[in-house]
Chains A and B, each alone.
Chain A
Amino acid sequence: MADTQARSKPLPEADEASRPFYDGALAGRLMLMRCDDCGTVRLPSRRHCDRCLSTETTWVQASGRGSVRTFAVMHRVYHPGFADEVPYNIAVVELAEGPRIVSNLVGVSNADIRLGMPVEVEWERHNDVALPKFRPLTSDR
């Protein structure tokens, strides 16, 4: 059912620079770039570290955990693929490693989203691409 809805949404494809990210996604791994010189972790895919401009980089698997930095709720249909989804949320997740990533929160109603809420990545799988979504971590009660 989710697949039917998702079919007409824009699905990204890897370019050369982002291929390790998208390959990692298909394997269920959130891959980031870590600067070999200053250790700053960044979202792919840029050749230079945006802190020290080094080009020496290692791809690393992120923890997949982070927190909600901010969020918004889309009420208008800007793309026909989202006609059945409004109102849907957009969230900026600040990953534990530092970078911020734009995604959607799943498993939570829009009214219950809060800043700072801890979240964890999960993967929405399509034919040839997997998309990172984030689910609130439930505390044991």
Chain B
Amino acid sequence: MPHPMRGATAITGLGMTPMGRVFGKSATELAADAVRLAIADSGLRKEEIDGLLTNAGVTGTAGHGIGLPLQNYLGLANLRLLNHMNAAGSTAAQMVQYAALAIAAGMANNVVCVFADTPLQEGTSSGAAYGGAARNPGRPRGMAGLYAAAGFFGANTSYALATRRHMALYGTTHDQLGTIAVGQRQWATMNPSAQMREPITLEDYHASRWIVEPLHLLDCCLVSNGAVAVIVSGAERAESLRQPPAFVLGMGQGHPGDVQRAGVEAETETGAKLAAETAYRMAGVGPDDVDICQLYDCYTYTVLVTLEDYGFCKKGEGGPFVEDGRLAPGGALPTNTGGGELSGYYMWGMTPLSEAVIQARGQGAERQVAKHDVVLCTGNGGVLSYHGCLILSPHRS
């Protein structure tokens, strides 16, 4: 018997603002733009929106991101579901999951999930947007001070440490990581929304400067201003709306956190494994059934390790798995078909989710993958600490 949540809900609306070095609008204003676009895209009337879930990026951490007050800015009175959610890069998938569960339970009908972020300031670098901790004045206190004292700053360092361990344990190479970056750039050349659309070669990858070794610049995601909203509705309603529904077949989460205890393999085994178990079971599919992957790609390594944990290959074999260009246009497992966060745009978990919806609908134009029956979409947050999964399909059953 199919799982009761399989195909019970669908993503019915998608709204995306311009993304990248976009200035002159606050996170709230960008969020409102994305919500307006998503409502128009869906064909719903604004009055039919009865749920709102929000997620702020780093501007949330800085204290001027979107949150519950967005409800008032949008003039959405009488909501049946409202929350501000944050599990970092896994939040987008989690917002859709919460919305789907609430809709299936009869608690709401059409729920807007919106992410907005404005980390970039005019005239400053992308690095400045995420390196803020290094600029804290005064002496760092307590044990956390050992990080700053050692010169350990930011997520680039954390992911470099994880990548290094995988390389050392399994022989993963820069050629293999670079193949991921090159393939995603190929996809990005066909995506009008992508920030980086000039093709790159493996030589360009090797020549790009070190950020934190073993991470080259081209191993690292972009930093973007912008907003993305999606609307989740019940399956019946979805079938009567304007867009082809992207039905939610499977959902799952897995959160190893950052428990640094003896025996915990935090760097090379992620929450994707638990999430995959739950989501595959709900959807009634396995890795062999997946046509397209949209994998959270804050770094090339994140893609590689996520593929392993979803069972596309064995643990440690992610390098050989990707090195033949399998993920690139024309490959056997089209992955991050909009360029992802490496070359497309960095909207946390909304990057894979937005492209998953586009591909499930069949609206990818030049970059549309012919077979798009099962689309796997993942979100990752922290340092491989939090993981959310959605399996989408144009088919309800």
Contacts and interface: CB of A to CB of B under 8 A. Distances in A.
Interface of A: 9-15, 17-18, 21, 40, 42-45, 50-51, 69-76, 78-79, 81-82, 85, 87-88, 90, 92, 94, 98-104, 110, 114-115, 131-132
Interface of B: 127, 131, 134-135, 139-154, 157, 160-162, 164-165, 168-169, 209-215, 259-262, 267
Contact of A13 (B141, B150, B211, B212): B141
Nearest to B128: A78
A9 B54 CA distance: 38
Contacts of A87: 210, 213
Given A10-B148, A50-B261, A85-B151, A74 B157 contact: yes
A92 to B, nearest CB: 6
8 contacts: A15-B141, A45-B143, A70-B267, A72-B161, A73-B160, A74-B157, A76-B127, A115-B169
Contacts of A18: 141-143
B214 A72 contact: yes
A102 B267 CA distance: 14
B212 to A, nearest CB: 5
Nearest to A71: B164
Given A70-B161, A76-B211, 15 more contacts: A10-B139, A10-B145, A40-B261, A70-B164, A70-B165, A70-B168, A74-B213, A75-B211, A79-B153, A88-B151, A99-B260, A99-B262, A102-B150, A103-B146, A110-B213
B165 A94 contact: no
Which among B139, B142, B214 has the greatest number of chain A C-beta atoms within 10 A?
B142
Contacts, number: 129
A29 to B, nearest CB: 16
Given A72-B213, A73-B212, A78 B259 contact: no
A17 B143 CA distance: 9
B118 to A, nearest CB: 21
A71 to B, nearest CB: 6
A114 B140 CA distance: 30
Nearest to B209: A75
A13 B289 CA distance: 54
Contacts of A15: 141-142
A10 B146 contact: no
Given A11-B139, A14-B142, A102-B146, A82 B151 contact: yes
A21 B143 CA distance: 8
B148 A102 contact: no
B215 to A, nearest CB: 8
Contact of A71 (B141, B142, B161, B210): B161
Closest 9 CB pairs of A and B: A12-B145, A72-B160, A98-B262, A78-B153, A73-B213, A75-B210, A70-B165, A10-B148, A78-B134
Contacts of A132: 146
A112 to B, nearest CB: 14
Contacts of B260: 43, 99-100
A103 B150 contact: yes
